[in-house]
Amino acid sequence: MSAISASEKVDGFTRKSMRKAQKQRKSQGSSQYRTQCAPVELSPLPQLKDAPSTEQQELFTQKLQQCCMLFDFMDSVTDLKSKEIKRATLNELVDYVSTNRGVLVETTYPEITTMICTNIFRTLPPSDNPDFDPEEDEPTLEASWPHVQLVYEFLLRFLENPDFQPSIAKRHIDQKFVLQLLELFDSEDPRERDFLKTILHRIYGKFLGLRAFIRKQINNIFLRFIYETEHFNGVAELLEILGSIINGFALPLKAEHKQFLMKVLIPLHTAKALALFHAQLAYCVVQFLEKDPTLTEPVIRGLLKFWPKTCSQKEVMFLGEIEEILDVIEPTQFKKIQEPLFKQISKCVANPHFQVAERALYFWNNEYILSLIEENIDKVLPIMFGSLYRISKEHWNPTIVALVYNVLKTLMEMNCTLFDELTSSYKADRQREKKKEQERDELWKKLDELRLSSAQNNSHGLPSVQNNNNNNNNNNNSNNNDTQDKSAEAAAVTSENKDPDDSVAAIESSPCAK
Amino acid sequence: MDAYKLMKELRVNYEQEAHYLPKESGLRLIESTTEDDSRISAKCRDAKVEDLWSLTSFFGYSTQTFVLAVNLLDRFLAMIRIQPKHLSCVSVSCLHMAAKVTEEECNLAPPVELIRIGQCRFTASDLCRMEKIVAEKLNFKSNAITALTFLDMYHQIALSHCTDRKEILSLEKLEAQLKACLCRISFSKAKPSVLALSLLRQEIHAVQSEDMLEIASHIQRHLKITDVELRLWSERVARCLSDYSSPECSKPNHRKLQWIVSRRTAQNLHSLRTVPELPTIPEGRWDESESEDSCEDLMSSGEESLSSSLGSDAEGPYFPLHLRRQHLHA
């Protein structure tokens, strides 16, 4: 990357637009290094469709073996002819497996898996960009995608072929295979992850014996992501697969699955890059709750525990998820969590970030949530009332104020008496607070006066206080006796003898009590 | 606070209250109208008054403002036939007019804000014009004698007679009940003095105070309110209040509330409802052994408890007993 001149920086940091411009060129990476020997040219083999059926098997195997030759795509000029031959061959193989029956005989399985392993299993190259931010930056794409894509396609068709026999394939598609497949989910290339997602989904579906292993490995990946590295590009894809698995859970739910929910899915909400996979994560959580409603309480308590405190974007996501959960919640479960939940919601509606407040207020547009609130209005309204009323007067954003009106009106229509009671007690509280404030202000004024008078007394030796009071535009004209009694206290209060002019200035500049 | 002075003032107000009553024939006309696009019905007026109540509450206006606004509204509607589409403008103008005479300058909500919050379709200049029309038709100067006027006075009288019972009769509660009654157009037919007295008696019955009851009777005699009239309105008030204070909730009417949110929030609202692309994979039944291909192979001894519990099928406290036994026998 070229050096960035000082003029292109702001506060010493590179301007984001500059950084983006540098990355506009699509970055590609690949770790498919060619073997050290001299470039081997591929000789084109005859077409499968032209070959007589007796020779097709043999030809098929030859082509598979041919495709085990890897090419360097970082170099865009060498071996163009051979690359093209391989590409065409792969294409042909994809067709062959998709359209013909009786193609998958037992002997082909090892050849197929070898070809696949050779082509796709590789150590992923380290990212070009060490500060890769998945939300902002363009991903590094796989340079050898023209070939790799076809290999993935082939694997998928292979798995989906009607003649596919898991009992034979399981000798080759084993735990080691799955482990390597899972590692590839960290690829930055979204196309690759998309294929991997579908492939792993099919493998999970067909290989019953691998299911527990796959789940365990996914757990490990997630736990490492949450607690150790905070880096993994394939979280969303894995969650999508899990969604379809959770959807198929048998009832009653196994302990293992419940543990997964509480120990992995809920903590996953704390990840910094939540925005990338929140939709899939929320879907998984809601699926769990639809399967077993008794999980509602621990889930919501878990979310409340991890409630974002400084990231407003995340808070909005959490609120969205809560609404999704409330959409499916059972009324008995709602009663269990209504109090802690609405305490959090009442904080959210008062949040100065308008998007958070908006999202929280919009809950009242949801018919089902309204019916839940209605049933429990005596618990919910007192919690919400204070902050709603306060922000109706204080919030800076006019849209929020209008939404608060809607919410208050809705609540008022639900139960007028309770609403009126809360209004009057709120007003009474405010009156009391105001009174206290006033009293406090009066006390300070008095103390200031006394301090000034005691300062005057000390410097000029004048017992009378009247002159000082007039100077101070003060209405509290205390009589001499009072002042002299209090001046002893005032002397105790003031630590130093201030210059009278300073004191006057101080009093005149202090704001009048409201 | 002089009881004698109060009684005298009461008398004066009683004599004048007729000036501020809405025309009864007009009110009856409204009550008898069925739901129609061309005329105001009772339901429509009641709904609008409830809206006014919400606005009063929201902007922190006093009960006096609300009661005065409703009084102006009813008098206007009883006098002039208007189309339902103008009802919103008329009612908000009444509210604004009432607020101007009752509330302090600093607490007055600007017309634009009133219109925005009330989700009204007219402009501030429309409001201004309507205010002039209403003021002119009703010959409105600064105030009106309403049920609240009487309620306040009755309350003061009651207090002045039994100073040690200050806490019992809550003026706020009475005011809230009055607001509830005013939401039904039928109560606008009552004489304010009678309505207020009915409310007072209702509350006195609730707190079961004999002394207060005597005072109420005293007032009744002083104003020469007939028993028949008082009984009629007391019954209606009792029914209305029992609805108001019932713990049952009424389903909020979501008819016309507009929920306006910012563009960004609107975009994100339904982003979670994605249709899953991958088909569901049903979990195997209990007797289908899922740990066929020895996941023990890769499990080393040094793994944490999480992984070991994840591999097991039949352990854990959540596992129902009878199935556990079945698995062991399989």
- Give tens-digit pLDDT for B230-249: 888 888 988 888 888 776 65
The pTM assigned to this predicted structure is 0.78
B290 touches chain A (CB under 8 A): yes
Write phi, then psi, for A287 (nearest 5 degrees). Answer: -60, -40
A429 touches chain B (CB under 8 A): no
Q: What is the pLDDT confidence band of residue B105, given thresholds at 50, 70 and 90? A: confident
Taking CA atoms, B245 is separated from A30, A372, A419, B57, B234, in Å, by 74, 21, 11, 18, 16
Contact B64, B148 (CB under 8 A): yes
3-state SS class at A251: coil
Residues with Cβ < 8 Å from B281, sequence gap 6 or more?
A201, A204, A205, A244, A245, A247, A248
- Determine if the peptide bond prior to B22 is cis (ω within 30°): no
Q: Is the pLDDT assigned to residue B325 strictly greater than 70?
A: no
Q: Is the pLDDT assigned to residue B305 strictly greater than 50?
A: no
Question: Average pLDDT of B23-38?
Answer: 81
Contact A120, A152 (CB under 8 A): yes
Q: Which of A244, A255, A354 sits opposite B280 (nearest CB)?
A: A244
In this structure, the strands spanning A13-14 and A9-10 are antiparallel
- Find the closest chain A residue to B176 by CA distance: A420
pLDDT for B253 equals 59
Q: Inter-chain contact B281–A208, Cβ cutoff 8 Å?
A: no
Q: Which residues of A touch B250 (CB under 8 A)?
A: 413-414
Largest CA distance in chain B: 101
A237 vs B289 pLDDT, higher one: A237
3-state SS class at A142: strand
Please, is A476 exposed, middle or buried when counting C-beta atoms within 10 Å of its C-beta (0-12, 13-18, 19+)? Answer: exposed
Distance of CA A357 to the CA centre of its chain: 18
Mutation target to probe the B interface, by most B beta carbons within 10 A, among A396, A405, A412 is A405
DSSP letters, A70-117, are ---SSSSSTTHHHHHHHHHHHHHHHHHHHH-SS---TTHHHHHHHHHH
CB-hemisphere CA count at 13 Å for A318?
Answer: 29
Interface subset of A 232-291, CB within 8 angstroms of B: 240-241, 243-245, 247-250, 252-256, 258-260, 263, 278-279, 282-283
Q: Which of A170, A223, A378 sits opposite B293 (nearest CB)?
A: A170
Handedness of CA B90, B93, B98, B103 (dihedral sign): positive
Name the nearest CA neighbour of A61 among A89, A27, A98: A89
* C-alpha–C-alpha distance, residues B29 and B77, integer Å: 10
Name the nearest CA neighbour of A267 among A299, A229, A313, A314: A299
pLDDT tens figures, B197-234: 888 888 888 887 777 788 888 888 888 888 888 888 88
Residues paired with residue A9 on neighbouring β-strands, in sequence order: A14
A51 touches chain B (CB under 8 A): no
Q: What is the pLDDT confidence band of residue A11, given thresholds at 50, 70 and 90? A: low
* C-alpha–C-alpha distance, residues B150 and A353, integer Å: 47
* C-alpha–C-alpha distance, residues A494 and B138, integer Å: 63
Extended beta strands in A132-240, E state: 141-142
Name the nearest CA neighbour of A466 among A452, B266, A79, A458: A452
- Find the closest chain B residue to A167 by CA distance: B293
- Find the closest chain A residue to B116 by CA distance: A402
- Find the closest chain B residue to A360 by CA distance: B265
- Binning chain B into helix, strand and coil, the percentages to the nearest 5 are 65, 0, 35
Q: Which residues of B touch A413 (CB under 8 A)?
A: 50, 250, 252-253
A208 touches chain B (CB under 8 A): yes
Q: Is the pLDDT assigned to residue A384 strictly greater than 70?
A: yes
Interface subset of A 348-387, CB within 8 angstroms of B: 354-355, 358-359, 362, 365, 367, 370, 374, 377-378
Q: What is the pLDDT confidence band of residue B27, given thresholds at 50, 70 and 90? A: confident
Write phi, then psi, for B320 (nearest 5 degrees). Answer: -65, 140
Please, is B198 exposed, middle or buried when counting C-beta atoms within 10 Å of its C-beta (0-12, 13-18, 19+)? Answer: buried
Q: Which residues of A touch B254 (CB under 8 A)?
A: 367, 410
- Find the closest chain A residue to B293 by CA distance: A209
The nearest CA of chain A is from the CA of B55 a distance in Å of 8
Q: Is the pLDDT assigned to residue B315 strictly greater than 80?
A: no
Helix (H) or strand (E) holding B32: helix B24-32
Contact A450, A443 (CB under 8 A): no
> In which region does residue A122 sit, left (phi positive, over 0), alpha (psi from -120 to 50) or beta (all else)?
beta
pLDDT tens figures, A96-152: 888 878 878 888 899 999 999 999 998 888 777 766 776 777 788 888 888 999 999
Interface subset of B 182-241, CB within 8 angstroms of A: none
B302 touches chain A (CB under 8 A): no
Q: Is the pLDDT assigned to residue A221 strictly greater than 80?
A: yes
In this structure, of A429-433, A449-453, A471-475, the range with the lowest mean pLDDT score is: A471-475
pLDDT for B40 equals 85
Write phi, then psi, for A496 (nearest 5 degrees). Answer: -135, 160
pLDDT tens figures, A68-86: 888 888 777 888 888 888 8
- Binning chain A into helix, strand and coil, the percentages to the nearest 5 are 70, 0, 30
Q: Which residues of B touch A295 (CB under 8 A)?
A: none
* Residue in the structure block whose two tokens are 């029956």: A101
